Structure 1
Amino acid sequence: MRSVFVTGTDTGVGKTVVAGGLAGGLASMGYSVGVMKPVATGGILINGEITSSDLLFLQAAIGNTALDEKALSMPYCLKTPAAPAIA
């Protein structure tokens, strides 16, 4: 299993967009792709659970919109929007 880790120096620099592009591109070429956002802030409430719009974007990029995989794809999601140093 090969992995790609996308990192950036700050919030709002495009990590999720780049990761979504890479994941979506690989999925469209037939690769089996999984996505993970280990920690998210600024969570939104969906069906009574806090989730991240970033995770929804990443899952949609690979054609997977199942929220039942949230525990594996995003183990920590905080409702308060915060920079990583504060979260």
Structure 2
Amino acid sequence: MADFTEIIAPLISLDTRLGRAQTAEALTHAGFTISPETLATKATRGGGPPFSIWGRRAVYTWGDALAWAQGRLAVPQPTARRRTAAASSKAA
């Protein structure tokens, strides 16, 4: 049986609705490693991708989940720059 990246990923549209496990799998294959359990925790505590409820199941739109994951990316800063910025904000 072929895996997700060979069959599903090229066909998935941004409007496609996915269950929690499918969303976690799709995000992981897109380079954003996350488990269904982490998505469940973020659904209850906040901070996760937007979702809807259908019956008792969480349903995510692929475009929203991908945008959420991409929005969490950060440009790394050298440690010295972070320390300098923190020190100057404390002095102000």
- Sort the TM-score into its range (normalised by shorter chain): under 0.3
Larger Rg: 2
Higher helix fraction: Structure 1 or Structure 2? Answer: 2
User: Looking at both structures, which has the greater relative contact order when contacts are Cα pairs under 8 Å and sequence separation is at least 6?
Assistant: 1
The TM-score, its normalising length taken from structure 2, stands at 0.23
